[in-house]
């Protein structure tokens, strides 16, 4: 099924591109279920096509070593541009702030829990970890935030999908880790771990949000439009504006959260030195229509205040 305006059929199914991890497949499955409900179609009208990305393929190095944003999206975007798939389902926190020409994301599903969950087989929470405990994470943002609170912790690289990381905990590779509550819930493990309030640990920009990408100008945009959740899209757009001002990638410890409060948006953003030794933060609240521009300015202000080398 290439560009077309008619509904997908069993003999011409809509091809949904996704990473092949269990979480990514669960997100693609959620997208398929919502499309089925929106258009009264059967499951055989949609075909999920797993595509292996660089981030999935290279597991022996940290994300910061192998590149910035796009590690989990580039191959999907190439397949979309080449017509091998019709739409791509992404975790929005993985999507570059400047997408390839010819592709658009105008549809986002309702956002799930934005928080991180503390997970450990032996300890009840971050403050319960013993002095010098080994903590596993592949996120520079989480690493910096944790070291800002607990500089005694010893950090180890913790790549892999959710199941892989949980297995590493059981083997004692680390005493504890953090996983996104949204991902755990989508895998049916929402009760696992202890959620950390955002006032204590601000999430990654766009955490918990799923975006559906399509070719610009493709009539298929109308097919996926009913799935869009405007409040999610508004808040994620604000967080990504902050990220864009900072040139954020997997190599930079950046956190941000926009929350809809009536007709206003409350925004909080922060950057940290990778070793957690310094944190710079900004906040803003005002009309939703002005929030993305305000967040971008805050990002520029923080970048100027931090100066050269802060994020290195």
Question: What element of type H or E holds 50?
Answer: strand 46-50
Sheet-wide strand order for 194-196: 154-156, 134-136, 176-180, 116-119, 194-196
- Plot region of 15 (φ>0 → left; ψ -120 to 50 → alpha; else → beta): beta
What burial letters (b/e) apply to 214-248, b meaning 16+ CB within 10 Å? bbeebebbebbeebebeebbbbbbbbbbbbbbbbb
Domains detected in the chain = 1-111+209-228 (3.40.190.10), 116-196 (3.40.190.10), 229-301 (3.30.160.40)
| Active-site position among 56, 86, 94, 113 | 94
Helix axes 288-306, 230-245, angle to 10 degrees: 20
Report the largest interatomic distance among the alpha carbons of the chain, rounded to a whole angstrom.
61
The single residue listed with the structure tokens 């931090």 is 306
Question: What element of type H or E holds 259?
Answer: strand 254-261
Question: What gap in Å lies between CA 205 and CA 235, rounded to an integer?
Answer: 10
CB of 149 within 8 A of CB of 133? no
Token pair of 14 as six digits: 């809509």
pLDDT for 188 equals 94
CB of 208 within 8 A of CB of 19? no
pLDDT for 57 equals 57
Q: Which of 77, 11, 19, 72 is nearest to 45 (CA)?
A: 11
pLDDT for 141 equals 95
Question: What gap in Å lies between CA 149 and CA 272, rounded to an integer?
Answer: 12
Annotation says 94 is catalytic: yes
pLDDT for 163 equals 87
pLDDT for 310 equals 86
Residues of the chain with pLDDT under 50: 1-4, 60-61, 65-66
Sheet-wide strand order for 279-287: 254-261, 264-272, 279-287
Q: Which of 297, 251, 244, 242 is nearest to 270 (CA)?
A: 242
pLDDT in tens, 7-66: 999 999 999 999 999 999 999 999 999 999 999 999 999 999 999 876 555 554 455 544
pLDDT for 159 equals 76
pTM score, whole prediction: 0.91
Alpha helices in the chain (DSSP H): 22-39, 54-57, 63-66, 74-81, 140-149, 162-170, 181-186, 220-224, 230-245, 288-306
pLDDT for 69 equals 60
């Amino acid at each position: 099924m290439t560009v077309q305006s008619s509904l997908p059929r069993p003999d011409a199914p809509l091809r949904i591109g996704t990473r092949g991890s269990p979480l990514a497949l669960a997100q693609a499955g959620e997208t398929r279920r919502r499309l089925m409900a929106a258009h009264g179609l059967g499951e055989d009208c949609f075909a999920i096509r797993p595509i292996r990305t660089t981030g999935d393929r290279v597991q022996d190095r940290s994300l910061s070593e192998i590149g910035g944003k796009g590690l989990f999206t580039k191959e999907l975007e190439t397949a979309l541009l080449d017509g091998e798939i019709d739409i791509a389902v992404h975790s929005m926190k993985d999507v570059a702030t400047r997408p390839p020409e010819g592709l658009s994301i105008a549809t986002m599903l309702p956002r799930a829990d934005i928080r991180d969950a503390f997970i450990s087989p032996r300890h009840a929470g971050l403050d319960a970890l013993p002095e010098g405990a080994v903590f596993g994470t592949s996120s520079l943002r989480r690493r910096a935030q944790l070291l800002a609170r607990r500089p005694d912790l010893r950090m180890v690289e913790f790549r892999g999908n959710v199941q892989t990381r949980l297995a590493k905990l059981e083997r004692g590779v680390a005493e504890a880790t953090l996983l996104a509550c949204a991902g755990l819930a989508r895998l049916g493990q929402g009760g696992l771990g202890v959620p950390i309030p955002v006032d204590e640990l601000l999430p990654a920009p766009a955490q918990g949000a799923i975006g559906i990408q399509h070719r610009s100008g493709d009539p298929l945009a109308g097919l996926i439009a009913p799935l869009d959740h405007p409040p999610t899209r508004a808040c994620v757009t604000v967080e990504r504006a902050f990220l864009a001002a900072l040139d954020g990638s997997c190599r930079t410890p950046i956190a941000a959260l926009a929350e809809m409060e009536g007709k206003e948006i409350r925004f909080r953003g922060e950057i940290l030195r990778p070793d957690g030794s310094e944190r710079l933060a900004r906040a803003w609240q005002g009309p939703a229509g002005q929030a993305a521009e305000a967040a971008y300015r805050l990002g520029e202000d923080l970048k100027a205040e931090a100066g050269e080398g802060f994020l290195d």
